[in-house]
Amino acid sequence: MLKHTLAAVAATLSMAGSVFAQTDLPFALDWKFEGPAAPYFVAIDNGHFEAADLSVEISAGQGSLDAIPKVATGAFPVGFADINSLIKFLDQNPGAPVTAVMMVYDKPPFAIIGRKSLGVEVPKDLEGRVLGAPPPDGAWAQFPAFAIANDLDVDAITVEPVGFPTREPMLAEGNVAAVTGFSFSSYLNLVRLGVPEEDISTILMADYGLALYGNAIIVNTDFAEANPEVITGFLGAIAAGWKDAIADPASAIESLIERNPAADAELEQRRLELSIDANVATEYALANGMGGIDADRMAKSLEQIAQTYEFQNAPDASLYFTDAYLPDADARMLK
């Protein structure tokens, strides 16, 4: 009897020790709790963060740039943001303690979403029409390079600054002919507003000359340098969450709906699947594991950024991305 009691006490102490050993890690997303955010909640619900001794609290964001200052100031140790915006931020704030450590959107979802009935199907169709663009939008930030790649006469395009909440409604009502946005978000938002799918055109910038990368996991470098094992564990759990979501999108959306009960489960599952197929499970990521980048492609993307952005300092890819915290490739394979 005493032996069983001592064993029970030891087990209780062991469990308590594991709980107390968990590191609290607030994680700042780029946007709302929609389909592409589901894998991060899967990483919680399927125990991947817990297995890495992490207690992760996920916060919604307000755009592709939103998490960058949050992480740079140390308000959040980790976040999710557009790497192109991060590049410009670091150029304007040399030495800021923030960098990308894991590429998630290997093929970025930057897109022009138009309506065929309003005459927009290919890039050149934007000339002579009104384009709605939220100023903080990650896709809008890449538009100048997209315009150069497609030889667009930007003076012939009327740009209407719009807010995120009014972007798709304005397009649905015909007040603009197209909008900038993320392919999987704007497309399905229009569907939800009753725009026929056959009337929607998705002009993915990556299919029209842009070598840019998309959103990545970013870290506060001071925190990462002091806690490298925490970051590596976190990234391994992120990869596991995406792998689970790819294998069972419907189950992943259940995790999302727990955090956002007002969401349309069917719509968000489609949004998740669109992001998987077009942005995450790319040929490169499937072959090499998610998270890494190709040096030649990064160099080309910096050249494209420099076409429309005047660097204050010589661009240096090592300042914007490091693979030092990535777990082994086997731990990052998506299938």
Rounded Cα gap, residues 102 and 323, in angstroms: 7
- pLDDT for the residue 304: 94
The pLDDT score that the predictor gives to residue 20 is: 52
Amino acid at 201: S
Contact 104, 218 (CB under 8 A): no
Q: Which CATH architecture has domain 110-207?
A: 3-Layer(aba) Sandwich (3.40)
Q: Domain-by-domain residue ranges, the chain? A: 23-107+213-332, 110-207
Q: Do domains 23-107+213-332 and 110-207 have the same CATH topology?
A: yes
pLDDT along the chain (335 residues), means of 10: 40 42 94 96 98 98 90 98 95 98 96 98 98 91 94 98 96 98 92 96 95 97 98 98 98 98 96 96 97 97 93 97 98 96
pLDDT number for residue 210: 95
Separation between Cα atoms, residue 137 and residue 96, nearest integer Å: 22
Which segments of the chain are extended strands (E)? 23-28, 54-59, 78-82, 98-103, 110-115, 130-133, 158-161, 178-182, 200-204, 215-220
Classify domain 23-107+213-332 at the CATH class level.
alpha beta
